[in-house]
Amino acid sequence: HPRVVVIGAGIVGCALADELTSRGWHDVTVLEQGPLFATGGSSSHAPGLVFATNPSPTMTAFANYTVAKFARLDLDDRRCFSAVGGLEVAATRQRLHDLERKRGLARSWGVRAQLVGPDECARMWPMLDSTRIRGGLYTPDDGLADAVRAGEAQARAAMARGAAFLDHHTVVGVERGGGRVRGVATDRGTFPADIVVSAAGFWGPAIGRMAGVEVPLLPMAHQYAYTAPIEGADPPPEPETVRPLLRHQDRDLYFREHGDRIGIGSYAHRPIPVHLEDVAEPGTDASAEMPSKLEFTAADFEPSWRDSVELLPALADSKVEEGFNGIFSFTPDGMPLLGESQRLRGFWLAEAVWVTHSAGAAKAVAEWMTEGRTSTDVHECDMHRFEDAQLTPAYVTDRGKQSFIEVYDVVHPMQPMQHPRPLRTSPFHQRQQEQGAFSLEGGGWERPHWYEANAPLVRPEDEAAVRDAWASRYHSPVVCAEARATREGVALYDMTPLKRLEVSGPGAMAFLQRMTTNQVDRRSGTVAYNLLLDPGGGVRSDLTVARLDDDMFQVAVSSNLDVDWLYTHLPDDGSVVLRETTAGTCCIGVWGPLARDLVQPLSGDDLSHEGFGFFKARRIRVGHVPVLALRVSYVGELGWELYTSADLGLRLWDTLWEAGRGLGAIAAGRGAFNSLRLEKGYRLAGTDMTTEHDPYEAGLGFAVRLDKGDFVGRDAAATAAEREPRRRLGCLTLDDPAHVVMGREPVLVGGRPAGYVTSAAYSTTLGRTIAYAWLPAEAAEPGTDVAVEYFGEPFAATVAAEPLVDPQMARIRR
Ligand code: FAD
């Protein structure tokens, strides 16, 4: 087995050593600059609250695993976890309403959760002024982790299997050679290694610099304070805490007991970024014993103290006795950084992980290393999820601060970042602004969601769905009008942010055959829909492969993770060249029954169905612009994706726009796009299916050619093809046309949570909402009555045969 060096013996490094050694990788050395196991890092003073429920199923799974593992750990006959439960109180009507949604999330991911009234909250926390709150969400399985002892318990288990933990070893360099990591240098000698994992917490960027790897996290301080002993607090003996953990998110506060004192954590203060140069080096002076603890800035805490007294009036007789500004990591999207660097093979990150998720994240990294895949999907945590433009220090700082502010905010699933914007724009940006684009953001791109200029197309029925305040956000009836205009006329969609690669060279065909599921060896000028599987047969992503020439392909992928995955698997003989072309090019989707009427007059090329068939690719001219045209459609209509270089983009847009005037062509946004793709049953990788799902249960078996020869994930896919799926991605329609859901809601079968919604959108064509959902196989039969729980209310829904619109493909193939 490879020699592994882990940098950092915080909760993550300890958990990782345990998870690796328990999988048989015994040659693990953990290097720690501080003492063991109160090392001086964030874990040493984390109050250890574990709240499992999270909008992300991955994070919830990480937390569930951590809780289950910690509950089994003890150290010298003392427990490392107390399942005291969690209580989130709501002081505002908006928060109370949101707790209903949160309970829904808990039910979607299989966490026990229950809404309780103010009196019940006060019963659990007698100090609570129940008149200040409207209710709460009680989660009995949440609890309190003792991170230092849980770390040590896991470290001891690892040591028993051969791992070594070395204190007072400061890593000062990462040794490299031949594109691989070779070991680390410390102040006490070098340690050769085949794999180096940075589990250095908020010091991650410093280790990253040693390795030449960008680590997009921002160390920030977060305030934690202890009250003086509370009169009549009646401290319990063991466990240390008996009352549930308490969160008061309307004021960005949380509370736990410490004997007869209360600990208060606050996210209400200004963001306080910390420069690594200002963090004490361990061992240099007394304060450096706990380098992650900075001096308490009392003025920052004052409003939080007032809010605490308001919620817990008994605190009025107490005071803040001591406090500190504790440092930990914030990433641009609030998610961890996991995975192996594509730039430096063998160099891994396991960073920006809370105590809450520590064991689950460590398990995922250990599986990833030892088996090449994870049992829990980790695409949201993969270190390669960011685009280049999202790795600048300026971006990481701006976004890191925002993640701090949002820790306890009610964040809408569609809420875009506000700053820095606009960051990336397509060549059509100016025209989109002229059309009144309402844009959201994705991967740094401005992405028009609808265009106000289309408001005159709205019909009364477009407002038939009754949207509450939540579902109304980031929505306009114009979305419906744009969807209808696409089905009835023709619309221009900006597809520029869709990532694309040029794959070329004598080995290109064989490479793509090996990486993807469908037949790539087709005649030049043919497009194929494909999947990328992981070695266990799980769906990593989907992509379209256009063969432009014998040795030249254009590949459209979903995200940076696909690019990374393909790069990682490139043969090293130079026979394949992979080049990302997204930034220098652009793309317009021209779709709708009138698409041919729009484009043909602009081109001397034959665009008839006979001359340019479905799923074909050709280089044509549109007016003055040479384009690559792909006859594909994500919205299920006749039309093309037209690609050209960025310099010609505006000209292409204007040419199409001018020609479309007489046809009533419009520009349409992502809102319409999403609705139309669901009408056609086109899945969105990462949302509708992930590596946790095989292609057959996801309804994508048609894209897998088991007989084409070997490819990544083939054996596992062959096994999956043989078995009867236990669950399926099914298509639901909500019975009441007035009902709307957003995604991630639990699906109830026979009144019980049995699945969850992946994507949903109101369908203008059907006049009701479509929801794709994971369901037990027996419930996935068309006609089955189910319910989707939206803010606590069960909305009746029916499983439908899919696709709902144009199953014969008559609209596309003509
Ligand atoms: P650390 O514990 O920081 O470990 C990293 C280790 O790497 C350190 O021991 C460090 O000394 C070592 N190291 C760094 N550089 C080097 C080097 N060059 N050579 C050798 N060793 C090196 N999370 C929760 O889940 N619940 C909470 O309630 C909670 N509350 C928090 C409250 C506060 C005040 C703070 C600050 C954090 C809180 N967190 C909480 C977050 C949580 O503490 C951290 O996310 C978690 O502890 C990080 O663990 P880690 O192992 O990645 O990092």
Query: Using CA atoms, how far apart are residues 721 and 707, in angstroms rounded to an integer?
Result: 12
Using a 6 Å cutoff on CB, does residue 353 contact ligand 1?
Answer: yes
**Eight-class DSSP state of 411:** -
Out of 722, 739, 767, a domain closes at 722
CA of 673 to the centre of ligand 1 (A): 42
Tokens at residue 797, please?
């829904």
For 412-469, what is each residue's pLDDT tens digit? 999 988 889 999 999 999 999 999 999 999 999 999 999 999 999 999 999 888 888 8
Q: Taking the alpha carbons of 53, 77, 241, 293 in that order, is the dihedral positive or negative?
A: negative
236 and 323 together in one domain: yes
Task: Examine residue 544 and state whether it is found in any structural domain, yes or no.
Answer: yes
CA of 283 to the centre of ligand 1 (A): 18
Domain that holds residue 130: 83-104+112-138+219-330
Task: Examine residue 485 and state whether it is found in any structural domain, yes or no.
Answer: no
Query: Using CA atoms, how far apart are residues 606 and 613, in angstroms rounded to an integer?
Result: 10
Q: Please name the residue whose Cα sits nearest to atom 12 of ligand 1.
A: 8
Atom of ligand 1 nearest to the CA of 354: 45
Substitution candidate for ligand 1 out of 39, 42, 365 with most atoms within 8 A of CB = 42
Q: Please name the residue whose Cα sits nearest to atom 44 of ligand 1.
A: 354
247 and 352 together in one domain: no
CA of 87 to the centre of ligand 1 (A): 25
pLDDT at 237 over 90: no
Atom of ligand 1 nearest to the CA of 282: 11
Query: Using CA atoms, how far apart are residues 121 and 98, in angstroms rounded to an integer?
Result: 17
CA of 338 to the centre of ligand 1 (A): 15
Q: What would the mean pLDDT of 3-28 be, rounded to a whole number?
A: 98
298 and 227 together in one domain: yes
End-to-end CA distance of the chain: 57
* Structural Rg of the chain based on CA atoms: 28
Tokens at residue 286, please?
């007394």
pLDDT at 796 over 90: yes
Phi and psi angles of residue 426, each rounded to the nearest 5 degrees, phi first: -85, 170
Task: Examine residue 355 and state whether it is found in any structural domain, yes or no.
Answer: yes
Give 392-396 contacts, CB < 8 A, sequence gap 24+: 394/420, 395/216, 395/332, 395/420, 395/423, 396/216, 396/217, 396/218, 396/331, 396/332
Q: Rounded to 5 degrees, what angle do the CA atoms 590, 561, 525 make?
A: 40
Out of 330, 350, 373, a domain closes at 330
For 537-582, what is each residue's pLDDT tens digit? 999 999 999 999 999 999 999 899 999 999 999 999 999 999 999 9
- The number of angstroms, rounded, from the C-alpha of 569 to the middle of its chain's C-alpha atoms is 23
Q: Give the list of residues 6+ apart from residue 340 with CB closer than 8 angstroms, or none.
A: 346, 347, 348, 368, 369
CA of 329 to the centre of ligand 1 (A): 8
CA of 41 to the centre of ligand 1 (A): 5
240 and 315 together in one domain: yes
Q: Please name the residue whose Cα sits nearest to atom 38 of ligand 1.
A: 46
Please pick, among 377, 542, 562, 688, the residue that the annotation labels catalytic: 542
pLDDT at 233 over 80: no
Q: What would the mean pLDDT of 172-193 be, rounded to a whole number?
A: 97
Using a 6 Å cutoff on CB, does residue 328 contact ligand 1?
Answer: yes
Using a 6 Å cutoff on CB, does residue 155 contact ligand 1?
Answer: no
CA of 13 to the centre of ligand 1 (A): 10
267 and 225 together in one domain: yes
33 and 153 together in one domain: yes
- pLDDT above 90: percentage of residues in the chain: 92
From edge to edge, which strands make up the β-sheet containing 28-31?
164-166, 28-31, 4-7, 195-198, 347-351, 337-340
Q: What is the SS3 assignment for 28?
A: strand
124 and 241 together in one domain: yes
Q: Which residue has the tokens 């669950």?
A: 727
Substitution candidate for ligand 1 out of 18, 36, 43 with most atoms within 8 A of CB = 43
Using a 6 Å cutoff on CB, does residue 67 contact ligand 1?
Answer: no
Alpha helices in 489-556 (DSSP H): 508-515
For 667-713, what is each residue's pLDDT tens digit? 999 999 999 999 999 999 999 999 999 999 999 999 999 999 999 99
Using a 6 Å cutoff on CB, does residue 12 contact ligand 1?
Answer: yes
534 and 550 together in one domain: yes
Question: What pairs with residue 545 in β-bridges?
Answer: 528, 555
Q: What is the SS3 assignment for 359?
A: helix
Q: Is 756 a catalytic residue?
A: no
Using a 6 Å cutoff on CB, does residue 291 contact ligand 1?
Answer: no
Query: Using CA atoms, how far apart are residues 128 and 139, in angstroms rounded to an integer?
Result: 18
Closest by CA to 151, choosing from 206, 205, 81, 222, is 81
Using a 6 Å cutoff on CB, does residue 46 contact ligand 1?
Answer: yes
Task: Give pLDDT, residue 722.
Answer: 97
Task: Give pLDDT, residue 506.
Answer: 98
Atom of ligand 1 nearest to the CA of 169: 20
Task: Give pLDDT, residue 234.
Answer: 66
Task: Give pLDDT, residue 372.
Answer: 94
286 and 159 together in one domain: no
Tokens at residue 599, please?
């484009």
CA of 408 to the centre of ligand 1 (A): 20
Q: Taking the alpha carbons of 589, 593, 598, 602 in that order, is the dihedral positive or negative?
A: positive
Please pick, among 65, 254, 696, 756, the residue that the annotation labels catalytic: 254
Residue 531 contacts residue 688 (beta carbons within 8 Å): no
* Cβ atoms < 10 Å from Cβ of 614: 14
- Residue 686 backbone class (left: φ over 0; alpha: ψ -120 to 50; beta: rest): left
Task: Examine residue 46 and state whether it is found in any structural domain, yes or no.
Answer: yes
For 24-82, what is each residue's pLDDT tens digit? 999 999 999 999 999 999 999 999 999 999 999 999 999 999 999 999 999 999 999 99
Q: How would residue 240 be classed by pLDDT, with cut points 50, 70 and 90?
A: low
Phi and psi angles of residue 243, each rounded to the nearest 5 degrees, phi first: -80, 155
Q: Please name the residue whose Cα sits nearest to atom 45 of ligand 1.
A: 354
CA of 199 to the centre of ligand 1 (A): 9
Question: What is the tally of structural domains in the chain?
Answer: 3
Instruction: Read off the CATH number of the domain in which 574 is found.
Output: 3.30.70.1400
Task: Give pLDDT, residue 464.
Answer: 83
Task: Examine residue 436 and state whether it is found in any structural domain, yes or no.
Answer: no
346 and 310 together in one domain: no
Task: Give pLDDT, residue 286.
Answer: 53
Half-sphere exposure of 761 (CA within 13 A, CB side): 28
Substitution candidate for ligand 1 out of 60, 186, 209, 354 with most atoms within 8 A of CB = 354
Task: Examine residue 740 and state whether it is found in any structural domain, yes or no.
Answer: no
Q: What would the mean pLDDT of 245-266 be, rounded to a whole number?
A: 94
Q: Is 254 a catalytic residue?
A: yes
pLDDT at 277 over 90: no
Task: Give pLDDT, residue 407.
Answer: 87
170 and 298 together in one domain: no
Provide the residue type at 211 as one letter.
Answer: A
**Eight-class DSSP state of 280:** P
Closest by CA to 511, choosing from 593, 459, 572, is 572
Atom of ligand 1 nearest to the CA of 224: 34
Task: Examine residue 491 and state whether it is found in any structural domain, yes or no.
Answer: no
Phi and psi angles of residue 640, each rounded to the nearest 5 degrees, phi first: -140, 155
Instruction: Read off the CATH number of the domain in which 181 is found.
Output: 3.50.50.60
Q: Is 18 a catalytic residue?
A: no
Atom of ligand 1 nearest to the CA of 12: 51
276 and 345 together in one domain: no
Q: Please name the residue whose Cα sits nearest to atom 53 of ligand 1.
A: 201
Task: Give pLDDT, residue 259.
Answer: 86
Out of 369, 385, 401, a domain closes at 385
Using a 6 Å cutoff on CB, does residue 330 contact ligand 1?
Answer: no
Task: Examine residue 443 and state whether it is found in any structural domain, yes or no.
Answer: no
Instruction: Read off the CATH number of the domain in which 232 is found.
Output: 3.30.9.10
Q: Taking the alpha carbons of 148, 382, 52, 96 in that order, is the dihedral positive or negative?
A: positive
